[in-house]
Structure 1
Amino acid sequence: MKTAFTSAALSRRRLLAGAAGLAGLACLPLPGAAQEAAPGAPSWRLRVGTLKFGTLNWLLETIRAEGFDTREGLALESVDFAGGQATTVALQAGDIDLIVSDWLWALRRTQDGERMRFAPFSNALGALMVAADGPVKGLADLKGRKIGVAGGALDKSWLLLRAYYKAQAGTDLAEAAEPVFGAAPLVSEQLALGRVDAVLTFWPYAARLDARGFRRLLDVKEIVRGLGIDPTPPLVGFIWRNAVMTERGGAISAFLRAAASANRVLATDNAAWERLRPLMQAGDDAEFARLRDYYRAGIPGTFGEAGRASCAKLYDVLAQIGGPELVGPNPGFDRSLFGPVGE
């Protein structure tokens, strides 16, 4: 199993194609769309909800520093929130125009009558981390162990790991092991202290553990492929209310083009990352490099029909194991959430 990301190992062509794919989502005309604005004269304003130390800020800073917002005639306003739930509430209230969240949340809102739209932000899905010299060497060693899980019992990565373990071992990991749920920084520290034997966590925290010498036992991407879902679909993306398309559809398109341009820079230009160091809060050079390389590995590729089909398969797996508590009283996969932005 490959367990290390290095800049040399990343395919320049794949990353550039991925960023171009995101730009392709924004190429179709939208209601209210205008011609490209003259530099320095914004035609569009977009309020983006961000987490204070979230990775979306890395992308937004690159957009501004490289002038991609100006080129697109876009005035970007970042609105910081303390947590993900606060961003979703603000989006539903119309206080902001766009956030980054998982599409399962957006799908449930759509099923409840509040239609949402989605475009990929990252394909990075997190990892199951263990101590390099610890007792867990393979999947079978998880039996009877304590597993720290970033988030709660309905965390998508945890549900996927349970489904994968059951397919491999024939039993539910929630019963075969002892899950310990908590915030990502907390469960990481529990692993460092030896109080849990493995940690299933989000990719930025996996990257930080990697830099500290911990080992990736299993990437969530591998779990998804192991469940027969290929290509690996994005789970996290840009989400906006369908209701804003008439008034701000042009702004959404402009933003997605700017984001694609910024990702092309971040995919290949190490100097651009030096500018982001203060936002990344890396403890040392090793942690900085891991965060950079994990981000690069998660730059989404072209999202088309195959990706939507993978999302549908992923939904079926999550709905089966998560049940109504996860998918709500009106379950069902709505492909319109993932349609091209111009539709």
Structure 2
Amino acid sequence: MIPSIALTRRALLAAAALAPLATRATAQPALPKLRVGTLKFGTLNWLLDTIRAEKLDAREGFALESVNFAGGQATTVALQAGDIDLIVSDWLWAMRRLNDGEPMRFAPFSTALGALMVAPDGPVKTLADLKGRKLGVAGGAVDKSWLLLRAYAKARLGADLIDICEPVYGAAPLVSEQLALGRVDAVLTFWPYAARLDARGFRRLLDMKEVVTGLGIDPSPPLVGYVWRTAIMGEKGAVLASFLRAAAAANTVLATSDDAWTRIRPIMQAADDAEFTRLRDYYRAGIPGSFGEPERASCDKLFAVLAQLGGADLVGQSPRFDRALFAPIGE
């Protein structure tokens, strides 16, 4: 009996030793990973959350990893350092990097632009009413929307807004509160903050899409999109293509399903139902459609306008519009 027990014990031990090998032999290979840099409270998170909830990343055969950053500059630094694979930024920034010898690629994330917001009972009823008034501008002196509004005002009023009103630059939440407190007479701000002001009863005097088309640039092209380094295309080109397909599918869900919005509401930081609804509707209005030759031609025209007004501070010392930035994956 004793030898038999010893043999049985040895057999069990041998089986236990072989079990991990069998498990490894049948385990599925790890999915290729895409590291996406996000702002903690940015709208990109709404899309990424939807991709995960709908299991669109798994369907496309990749693993999605979000890396949160405190500000936009931190995301661009991390992208340039190779710490992350993809961010959302404007293509003007990516074009400048390309012209400086650091090739980038761009695909549209949103066509939503900012808006000029005013109080419904305030003194500003038309663009001309900004004369002698204080205008809050989200961002700085080379903010793209501000430059475009200046160009539009020149065409419509024959005057540069910087000469006829007092711009007050600041962070978007700050200038929104300045409008609410009556310390500025109008605010030019990014679309999520315009949506929040809209929900509070403020009026959209002028949408930036109207500004762009008013400058003869039609169709109005996206300014903001997914940006990645061309250098990773060899290793991760297939994963990037999979991500873009998953993102498009997630946007289809967000465009058609109110339940999907209920699911992501906790991360939207909406103050109330009205703000939640405006944020949803503004996002839906900005879901990108086709991005073909007409849109690329519009980007070229837009670049020329912004380069003229923004100068080297915006587009660098050697500004050049390079369509290679917008080349689809595979080209």
Fold-level match, TM-score > 0.5?
yes
Alignment of 1:25-104 (within 5 A): 43-104=31-92
Query: Per the alignment, in what secondary structure is the counterpart of residue 302 of structure 1?
Result: coil
Tell me if structure 2 keeps the 8 A contact 1:48–1:98.
yes
State yes or no: 1:213 paired with 2:201: yes
State yes or no: 1:236 paired with 2:228: no
**CA distance in structure 1 between the aligned counterparts of 2:29 and 2:36, rounded to whole angstroms:** 19
Alignment of 1:120-139 (within 5 A): 120-139=108-127
Bigger-Rg structure (1/2) = 2
Tell me if structure 2 keeps the 8 A contact 1:100–1:238.
yes
Tell me if structure 2 keeps the 8 A contact 1:42–1:70.
no
Alignment of 1:177-196 (within 5 A): 177-196=165-184
Could you say which structure has the greater relative contact order, defined with CA pairs below 8 angstroms and 6 or more residues apart? 1
Flag structure 1 segments of 5+ consecutive residues without an equivalent: 1-39
**CA distance in structure 1 between the aligned counterparts of 2:194 and 2:270, rounded to whole angstroms:** 13
Q: For residue 276 of structure 1, what is the amino acid of its counterpart? A: I
Deviations 1:150-189 (A, max 9, x none): 0000000000000000111111101110000000000000
Q: For residue 98 of structure 2, what is the amino acid of its counterpart? A: T
Alignment of 1:313-324 (within 5 A): 313-324=301-312
Alignment of 1:239-318 (within 5 A): 239-318=227-306
- Partner of residue 16, structure 1: none
Query: Per the alignment, in what secondary structure is the counterpart of residue 323 of structure 1?
Result: helix
Q: For residue 212 of structure 1, what is the amino acid of its counterpart? A: R
**CA distance in structure 2 between the aligned counterparts of 1:140 and 1:66, rounded to whole angstroms:** 48
**CA distance in structure 2 between the aligned counterparts of 1:136 and 1:42, rounded to whole angstroms:** 58
**CA distance in structure 2 between the aligned counterparts of 1:169 and 1:288, rounded to whole angstroms:** 36
Deviations 1:121-143 (A, max 9, x none): 00001100000010000111011
Identity over aligned pairs, percent: 77
Tell me if structure 2 keeps the 8 A contact 1:232–1:310.
yes
- Partner of residue 110, structure 1: 98
User: Alpha-carbon deviation of 1:41?
Assistant: 5.9
User: Which stretches of structure 1, 4 residues or more, deviate above 3 A after TM superposition?
Assistant: 40-43
Flag structure 2 segments of 5+ consecutive residues without an equivalent: 1-27
User: Alpha-carbon deviation of 1:43?
Assistant: 3.3
**CA distance in structure 1 between the aligned counterparts of 2:99 and 2:109, rounded to whole angstroms:** 22
TM-score, normalised via structure 2 length: 0.91
Q: For residue 321 of structure 1, what is the amino acid of its counterpart? A: L
TM-score, normalised via structure 1 length: 0.88
Which residue of 215, 222, 227 maps to 2:210? 222
User: Alpha-carbon deviation of 1:267?
Assistant: 0.3
State yes or no: 1:334 paired with 2:296: no
Q: For residue 102 of structure 2, what is the amino acid of its counterpart? A: E
- Partner of residue 201, structure 1: 189
**CA distance in structure 2 between the aligned counterparts of 1:205 and 1:148, rounded to whole angstroms:** 13
Query: Per the alignment, in what secondary structure is the counterpart of residue 212 of structure 2?
Result: helix
The structure whose residues are more often helix, as a share, is: 2
- Partner of residue 20, structure 2: none
Tell me if structure 2 keeps the 8 A contact 1:41–1:73.
no
Query: Per the alignment, in what secondary structure is the counterpart of residue 275 of structure 1?
Result: helix
**For this pair of structures, how many residues does the alignment match?**
304
Query: Per the alignment, in what secondary structure is the counterpart of residue 204 of structure 1?
Result: helix
Q: For residue 52 of structure 2, what is the amino acid of its counterpart? A: R
**CA distance in structure 1 between the aligned counterparts of 2:31 and 2:297, rounded to whole angstroms:** 35
